[in-house]
Amino acid sequence: MRRGLRWGGRTALTLVLAMAFCGSWLGGHGQDLKSFEQRTTVKVLPNGLTLVVCERHDAPVFSYTTFIDAGDVNDPMGEGGVAHMFEHLAFKGTSEIGTTNYAAEKLALVKVEAANKAYEVEYLKPEGGDKKRLAELKDAFVKAQAQAYKYVVPNQFTQIAQANGADGLNAQTGMDETEYYWSMPENRLELWAWMESSRLADAVPREFYKERDVVMEERRMRVDSDPVGRLIEQFAATAYVAHPYGRSDIGWPSEVGQITATEAMAFHRKYYVGADIVVAVVGDVDTKTAMPMLERYFSRIPGGPKPEDMTTVEPRQFAEKSVVVNEQTQPFYIEGYHRPSYRDPDDAVFDAISDIMSNGRVSRLYRSMVEKEQIAAEAEGFTGYPGEKYPSLFAFYAVPLPGHTTAEMREAIHREIDRLKTTDVTDAELEMFRTRARADLLRGLADNQGLANSLAEYQTRYGDWRQLFLELDKADKVTKADIRRVANQVFVASNRTSAEIDTETSAAKSGGGR
């Protein structure tokens, strides 16, 4: 459930790359760890920011990912969605980009904040505020925005990027992190470094309240007007009682609808410091000449200590919980079990279970529910929802075929889980998991953007991009006994949250009928 600045963002790379790697048959094609070590340079700047540069000279292009180790899990109470709001703000320009007169604009923006504050104080009064007073304050707020807007050159930041050949320009905010990325012709490397470091160091809360409306539309599109979106939001909210993984990732309407530019900028000040940022560049780059230039630009980002981690720990669940939503739409079933974070020694065991249960037409859920019993159109399990950095969920979902029920989905999933608990997986299944993990990693290396994302992610999560390659040692060590042990520990009723859509009978009026 990541959200991008635009629609249709890519899926989480971690699904493919969280699986690990072993160097054994990487030789021969310059794609082993050794060859990567020769082409990849890491530099930690005095402000704490990490640069990772990987040379790949196939075409005169490069891709980058800026990976911020902060996401919506870091949203302060009452400000759900602020990490994502800031991500949108990061496209609004700087004191040099997107303004005709920053000195004057800055003053006007201070007035916008004051006007919004005055309006908000009245609006949030328990009885809803005085109508006449509210109208006046709203009017003053709109006028203040108009004053500030006079100095705006709209979308100039993205216009410069796109006019210079930026491809796949986007960003996404997850629970754990915020990522910014695009690809460009290699001769724009310095221009990019200037732009990227500018917006990280010198963001301006321009057009904030218009953008908040845009984000409210994004919420309506992804959650409120999508039956499965609505269900999943309730699913996570029910599974968690304490940890912020249970909060709406885009923000509850009353929170994201009230976020202020001041709050978004406070989030930026706290989390957009060097120690929280990794920038990875992959492509037709000469490290020797590029590194000093990159260093010069990215040193502009403030230093300071890494912000303290979120410390709330989800308490152990002791009873099954369930959500049943009646909708006009067709039925859908999902259930999740709490699992430890990505740092747990069993992390690779969950990857193995996910692969064996869900990957392709040989997977257990496909073979049993889709092919043999013929009760589901789709059935899969996946790990690491809604994030990975903190203890998260391993989830299973199924889409029933016409005439079949959510209860049948649940029973069938439980049959497959029981099999996992009572009988060892086969040697062939385990070997297949390892082989596919290796091949998937290898296939991912050919794509500059995918590689930049992976390098930045692994550098952030493990403090060393090499872990991308080394992870598979862990995968190779997963045993049949591990899988049974973990299944028995984790996939138990008291650790389960289920959510389902049941079809409202009133839908009969718009349908055909038996």
Partner 1 sequence: MKSLRDCAYISLLLPGLLGAQQSKPWEKIPVPRLHEFKPQQPVRIELKNGIVLFLQPDHELPFVSGSVLIRGGSREEPAGKAGLIGLYEQAWRTSGTQKMDGDAMDDLLEAKAAHIETEGDEDSTSISWDSLKGDSDQVFGLAMDLLFHPKFSAEKLALAQQQEAAAIVRRNDDEDGISSRESAKLVYGANSPYTRQPELKTIASVTVNDLEAWRDRTLKERLIVGISGDFDPASMEARLRAVFDPLPRVAPEPKRHDEFTGPAPGVYFINKDDVDQSNVQIVALGPDRTSPDVATLAVMDEILGGDFVGRLFQKVRTELGLAYSVGGGFALPYDHAGMFRVEVLPQSARTVDATKAALVEIAGLNTRPFTETEVTRAKDDILNSFLFRYDTRDKVLAEQERLEFYGFPADYLETYKAAIEKVTIDDLKAVARKYIHPEKLAVLVVGNEAEIKPWLDALQLGAVKRVDITIPGAQVASGTAGK
Considering only residues 196-215, where is the footprint of partner 1 by CB under 8 A?
Answer: 207, 209-215
Tokens found for residue 302: 């403030």
Binding mask 380-419 for partner 1 (x = CB under 8 A): -------------------xxxxxxxxx------------
- Which range of residues in 37-45, 94-102, 345-353, 484-492 is near partner 1 by CB under 8 A? 94-102
- The alpha carbon of 98 is separated from its chain's Cα centroid by a whole number of angstroms, namely 28
Residues 295-324 that bind partner 1 (CB under 8 A): none
Query: Does 159 participate in binding partner 1 (rule CB under 8 A)?
Result: yes
- CB count in 10 Å sphere of residue 385: 21
- Which range of residues in 9-17, 79-87, 301-309, 368-376 is near partner 1 by CB under 8 A? 368-376
Q: What is the DSSP letter of 152?
A: B
Alpha-carbon distance 132 to 434, whole Å? 67
Residue with tokens 């930041």: 157
Q: 202 near 96, Cβ under 8 Å? A: yes
391 vs 450 by CB, closer to partner 1: 450
The dihedral over CA atoms of 390, 179, 6, 231, expressed in degrees to the nearest 10, equals: 0
Binding mask 10-29 for partner 1 (x = CB under 8 A): ------------------xx
Q: Least CB distance from residue 198 to partner 1, whole Å?
A: 8
- CB count in 10 Å sphere of residue 320: 13
Alpha-carbon distance 395 to 407, whole Å? 16
Query: Does 292 participate in binding partner 1 (rule CB under 8 A)?
Result: no
**Of the candidate residues 445, 455, 490, 499, the single one contacting partner 1 (CB under 8 A):** 445
Q: Least CB distance from residue 440 to partner 1, whole Å?
A: 7
Tokens found for residue 334: 């999902």
Query: Does 46 participate in binding partner 1 (rule CB under 8 A)?
Result: no
Q: Least CB distance from residue 86 to partner 1, whole Å?
A: 16
Alpha-carbon distance 403 to 376, whole Å? 10
412 vs 490 by CB, closer to partner 1: 412
Residues 322-341 that bind partner 1 (CB under 8 A): 327-331
φ, ψ for residue 433, nearest 5 deg: -55, -45
Q: Give the bridge partners for 496, in sequence order.
A: 337
Mapped onto helix, strand or coil, the DSSP state of residue 176 is: coil
Residues 55-74 that bind partner 1 (CB under 8 A): 58-61
Query: Does 470 participate in binding partner 1 (rule CB under 8 A)?
Result: no
Q: Are strands 332-339 and 496-503 parallel, antiparallel or unpaired?
A: antiparallel
Residues 178-197 that bind partner 1 (CB under 8 A): 183, 185-188, 190-191, 194-195
CB neighbour list of residue 111: distance below 8 Å, 6 or more residues apart: 144, 147, 148
Query: Does 269 participate in binding partner 1 (rule CB under 8 A)?
Result: no
- Which range of residues in 238-246, 309-317, 436-444, 481-489 is near partner 1 by CB under 8 A? 436-444
Q: 145 near 209, Cβ under 8 Å? A: yes
**Of the candidate residues 41, 164, 299, 341, the single one contacting partner 1 (CB under 8 A):** 164
Q: 498 near 322, Cβ under 8 Å? A: yes
Query: Does 38 participate in binding partner 1 (rule CB under 8 A)?
Result: no
- Which range of residues in 98-106, 121-129, 342-350, 479-487 is near partner 1 by CB under 8 A? 98-106
Query: Does 374 participate in binding partner 1 (rule CB under 8 A)?
Result: yes
